Structure 1
Amino acid sequence: MELFATPRTLAERRDDGSIVLESALPLEPHAASMAHLFRDAADAHPDRLLVADRDGRADADGGGWRRVTYGQARRMADGLAQALLDHGASGRPVMVLSGNSVEHLLLTLACYTAGSPVVPVSTAYSLLDADHVKLRDMAALTRPAVVFADDPGAYASALTAATALNGAGGTPLSGRDGFREWAATEPTAQVDEHFARVGPDTVAKILFTSGSTGRPKGVVNTHRMLCANQQMLRQTWPFLAEEPPVLLDWLPWSHTFGGNHNMGLAIANGGTLYVDDGKPGPPELAERTVRNLADVRPTVYFNVPAGYASLLPRLESDPEFARAFFSRMRYVFYAAAALPQQVWDGIAEVAASAGSSAPMTTSWGATETAPAATSAYFASGRSDCIGVPIPGVSVKLAPVGPKLEIRVKGPSVTPGYLDDPVRTREAFDDEGYYRTGDAVRPVDDDDPGKGLVFDGRISEDFKTSSGTWVSVGTLKSALLSACGGLVSDAVLTGHDTDRVGALVWLNPARTRTSTEAEVRAALGDALRRLNDGATGTSRRVVRLLVLDEQASLAHGEITDKGYVNQRAVLDRRAHLVKLLHTDPAPAEVVLPRRSRPPRPAR
């Protein structure tokens, strides 16, 4: 079975400058609900492993994994569904405060079965915000019937916050013991009756956007959205029909990438999902991911650019680990932010040296699009190409200022935001296309089949004092590539000034053995390489300031899936932006290094 389908793209160019792109491949029929997909998989292969996570103890085979098969999951999901109904969750939301785990997945399946929307909340709102302001807002909006947390100690105050404002008296469920009691509930005919009523328009999830500014928005996710999107992915990657995927994933289920795209891919295709207890960041967490990857040897792998930047040095330095990583790999996938070309090329080189033909690929989407809307299911060779529309999706490239905003329409697009008609109306244009706020441009204006290039968030772009627009997404990607892996992420500065600067975070995997002087010299060389040949101030970064403090989850500077919010960083670190642009440049600021003059001939 082929890895990728053959993409065919139809294009309509309009007089107003907009371009409408669609796949020539029609969307095939899809399941009525995720509950139907799960039950079908459990009936077909009850003994196949569905989910496993680390519990800190060695199990019978010494792997340290808690394992749940499809058949076991079906029995527990039905019991949990009955318990949820007994506690008033018929049609009412169930809030999950905990991170990824066996319990989290089983409770999600129970909600699907009972027709109760599941509301997975980022752990940052429970564990890093002592006042739980945003969590209280989410609870007030969703009014959950049940609120679950797997650790009653860590989540005690969050459980109180999430239930105190619920006038209907939501029930807290905490700890594994309580969870097991609910899962052991004997299901009655009521469970099957509720399952029979679950259909395409039933709300499956409420996913909250990061809420870095203003009140978080509750994105309504219906079963139609999720099932249509999984059918789109199956048509894009046809091998899934015959090769159930094996995933190892850390991406949080409170976000659409991990919770819809990846979890859904496993369930919809009868696959297996191992929960990774590591993630990009501190070395100890990165080492957990390395251990788990070598143990599981997944067939497909999903991560964000920061994850690959952390993983690449280990793959390059450890051929045995590289061979294990690629031993069963069909493709390597990134999303959520721009990936430097240097990292893309590095992963490809390691794959080749390990004897693997697994390509690197990506797609693009949003919480409101369930999420995939475009996919690079062809060999592009470039990290900024987000591909073409997948079957069933129509995208419109609409002129907004100097850029083209990508807008989306199709069965995988949200009907709107929970109890927020004003922002729902504002989110769609007069043709019903969802306004994403992301900019793209064609790889080739004459051939839409070559794909689209991500061109940054329109709201992040700014003007210099000369009135020239800075394309933040494009310039930031070029900066990260020029830094050759030394920098894990960056935020551009220079609004209404005569120069562009950057606040940067170093990549510990690349810099831990270097001195400060060596790092500064390398960064200065990177600025020189970036700026050589660049025309105009808007295409040059002339100053860098290395940040010692990591981006803060609690202050909205970064999401727990690793995406940096430029505006939140600039607002919180305004004093550092001012320092970066002070004249003359302070000693902390890195400037482009001058090329060494040629030695005179003797």
Structure 2
Amino acid sequence: MSVDTRGDLTWGTTGRLLAMTARRLPAAEAVVDGELRLTYRALDAEVDRAARAFLAAGLEHGDRVAIWAPNSARWMIAALGLQRVGGVLVPLNTRFQGAETAYLLDKSGARLLLTVTDFLGKDYPALLTTAAGGPGAGRPARDLPGLERVVLLSGEGDGQGWDAFLSTGEGVPADEVERRAARVGPDDLSDILFTSGTTGFPKGAMCTHGQALRAYALWGAVVGLREGDRYLIVNPFFHGFGYKAGWLVSIMAGATALPARTLDVPHVLEMVRRERVTVLPGTPTLYQTMLEHPDFSAAGVASLRLAVTGAANVPPALLYRIREELGFEHIVAGYGLTETCGIVSMCRYDDPLEVVTTTAGRPLPGVEVRIAAPDGGEGEILVRGYTLMQGYLGEEAETAATIDADGWLHTGDVGTLDEEGRVRITGRIKDMFIVGGFNAYPAEIENILVRHPDVAQAAVVGVPDARMGEVGAAFVVPRAGRAPDPAAIIAWSRENMANYKAPRRVEILGELPLNAAGKVDKNMLRERATR
């Protein structure tokens, strides 16, 4: 099936996007990273310097460059620089160990790796060199024949320093960057984002410049991102939420991007206050933790205007608290997958909160959604349209198993469509567990549990049971000043949901384990529940 991935593009490529914004808003603040403050004119110049260095390193059109580093202005500059001259960005999860990263470097064929030696006590090149065990076993840096150079965005160690790397491009003429940039078009790959799949090995979802630009121009419009907004990006850049729905859309709108290296709530609260942050997307967990933190004050977050959450399900009680206690004017929720450039549907910024609490909004224009259910009820969500990936890198069989002959992506998510075309997510096929023949969806149970007056957060997983096959185990974080009793929560659950949905065991935790994207790590909870 032929799908138009470009639409009516203003920019065509990320390189031209930045150049046009720099001409339109040369003196506007583009990025703030600690003491570093760059205008759009200055950011564009830094990206040109990086592009020249990539050309000096021998980067050819379509070559892959991996970035394994926390959020920073240099991350943005490097990504935009390599894309400007036809390179393909491969973001890598900062929580990966050396073996995992070696596997992905080999899989993607990355010629260059940009990384750090000083993040959370980790020296990433050292991890890579000593990689052992896991899917990347036996593939340390010296055994990756395609990896030609390691560049350090920060820190000192095994690799070329960032300043030294930039200096190598000084002999490359500026018109060579222009010539190479002119070759890059909307249908060229801009990035490969890796996602785990049914095989257990990560798969690289390929996306073009045109897809990303078309999708996130619409994203910015429907959520109400404005010129001059100050956007604190706590979502990691290796994830579409921090990259495309983060700094990329900020450039489209002419907003200021403020990258955060870690999800550190005291730092977030201080940044919001000091930098007068107006936009703060994140997971429900971030907002919940902010509300419960002793440093929180309503005056300190008075500048906040827009919240965007990308979780599949957001507890209604939490969204009402966010609006009332954090003071957001607009709260929107959305739904997306790596295989759809990170976006399928979004609430609109003027949607009433009742819509945001119960749905993930309507599909973006040009994106189709249907439910694989014969009666039009609950079933697997299927997606078709211009946001669909170009396929999994080197995985034709996996691609065919995910996107059918009619062009529908089988998401693995379960949900419904209401009469106005809004998507409602009810669970994941893989997360669903069966209790005595009844399907139980954790997201639905979690939304009920957070209505309990003592419960701030809840996560539910299925665990084996000799009589019922599987039953629910709930992990609960209490609200500040509360001390919930597990037995009382179980009794309350039986009064407030069908018996098969009620968890058979409850464990109280100080916090839920999160993955690097800020989502609850259900695999870790399943392991804990079955010990």
User: Taking structure 1 as the reference length, what is the TM-score of the superposition?
Assistant: 0.77
| Residue type of the alignment partner of 1:40 | M
Give the equivalent residue in structure 2 for 1:532: 495
Matches of 2:39 and 2:253, distance apart in 1: 14
User: What is the deviation of 1:400?
Assistant: 8.4
Distance 1:154 1:252, change over 3 A: same
Matches of 2:504 and 2:116, distance apart in 1: 48
Is 2:359 the partner of 1:379?
no
Give the equivalent residue in structure 2 for 1:474: 444
383, 386, 395: which one aligns with 1:420: 395
Alpha-carbon contact 1:408-1:436 (below 8 Å) kept: yes
Give the equivalent residue in structure 1 for 2:144: 166
Please list the CA deviations of residues 535-561 of structure 1 after superposition, one character each: whole Å capped at 9, or x if unmatched.
3x322223212357963xxxxxx4201
253, 267, 291: which one aligns with 1:288: 267
Is 2:506 the partner of 1:544?
yes
Alpha-carbon contact 2:384-2:407 (below 8 Å) kept: yes
Give the equivalent residue in structure 2 for 1:83: 53
Is 2:380 the partner of 1:405?
yes
Matches of 1:214 and 1:461, distance apart in 2: 18
Alpha-carbon contact 1:143-1:170 (below 8 Å) kept: no
Is 2:126 the partner of 1:157?
yes
Matches of 2:515 and 2:504, distance apart in 1: 28
Alpha-carbon contact 1:482-1:527 (below 8 Å) kept: no
User: What is the deviation of 1:123?
Assistant: 1.1
Please list the CA deviations of residues 368-426 of structure 1 after superposition, one character each: whole Å capped at 9, or x if unmatched.
11122111112141523101112121112212898322222222221111111111111
Give the equivalent residue in structure 2 for 1:137: 103
Please list the CA deviations of residues 269-302 of structure 1 after superposition, one character each: whole Å capped at 9, or x if unmatched.
22110012441xxxxx221111111112222220
Give the equivalent residue in structure 2 for 1:228: 214
Is 2:519 the partner of 1:563?
yes
Distance 1:400 1:202, change over 3 A: farther
Structure with higher Rg: it is 1
Matches of 2:197 and 2:509, distance apart in 1: 24
Is 2:25 the partner of 1:49?
no
| Residue type of the alignment partner of 1:243 | E
User: What is the deviation of 1:28?
Assistant: 4.8
The percent identity for this pair of structures is 23
Aligned pairs, number: 500
Distance 1:75 1:164, change over 3 A: same
Matches of 1:104 and 1:190, distance apart in 2: 23
| Residue type of the alignment partner of 2:288 | A
Give the equivalent residue in structure 2 for 1:21: none
Matches of 2:296 and 2:57, distance apart in 1: 53
Matches of 2:188 and 2:296, distance apart in 1: 49
Alpha-carbon contact 2:477-2:512 (below 8 Å) kept: no
Distance 1:142 1:429, change over 3 A: same
User: What is the deviation of 1:252?
Assistant: 0.6
Is 2:330 the partner of 1:367?
no
Please list the CA deviations of residues 14-55 of structure 1 after superposition, one character each: whole Å capped at 9, or x if unmatched.
xxxxxxxxxxxx96544311111111111222222211223x
Distance 1:28 1:234, change over 3 A: farther
276, 282, 306: which one aligns with 1:303: 282
Is 2:269 the partner of 1:269?
no
345, 352, 369: which one aligns with 1:395: 369
User: What is the deviation of 1:367?
Assistant: 0.8
SS where residue 149 of structure 1 aligns?
strand
Is 2:308 the partner of 1:333?
yes
Please list the CA deviations of residues 480-519 of structure 1 after superposition, one character each: whole Å capped at 9, or x if unmatched.
3336543354434356743733241525xx34x56xxxx2
Give the equivalent residue in structure 2 for 1:318: 297
User: What is the deviation of 1:101?
Assistant: 0.8
Matches of 1:118 and 1:29, distance apart in 2: 21
Distance 1:30 1:175, change over 3 A: closer
Alpha-carbon contact 2:512-2:520 (below 8 Å) kept: no
Distance 1:342 1:533, change over 3 A: closer
Matches of 1:436 and 1:348, distance apart in 2: 31
SS where residue 350 of structure 1 aligns?
helix
Alpha-carbon contact 2:306-2:331 (below 8 Å) kept: yes
Alpha-carbon contact 2:473-2:503 (below 8 Å) kept: yes
User: What is the deviation of 1:201?
Assistant: 1.6
Give the equivalent residue in structure 1 for 2:137: none
Alpha-carbon contact 1:98-1:149 (below 8 Å) kept: yes
Give the equivalent residue in structure 2 for 1:435: 410
Distance 1:106 1:526, change over 3 A: same
Select the structure with the greater relative contact order (CA < 8 A; seq sep ≥ 6): 1
Matches of 1:305 and 1:36, distance apart in 2: 34
User: Within 5 Å, which residues of 2 pair with 1:13-32?
Assistant: 28-32=8-12
| Residue type of the alignment partner of 1:529 | W
Matches of 1:201 and 1:163, distance apart in 2: 32
* Aligned-pair Cα RMSD in Å: 2.7
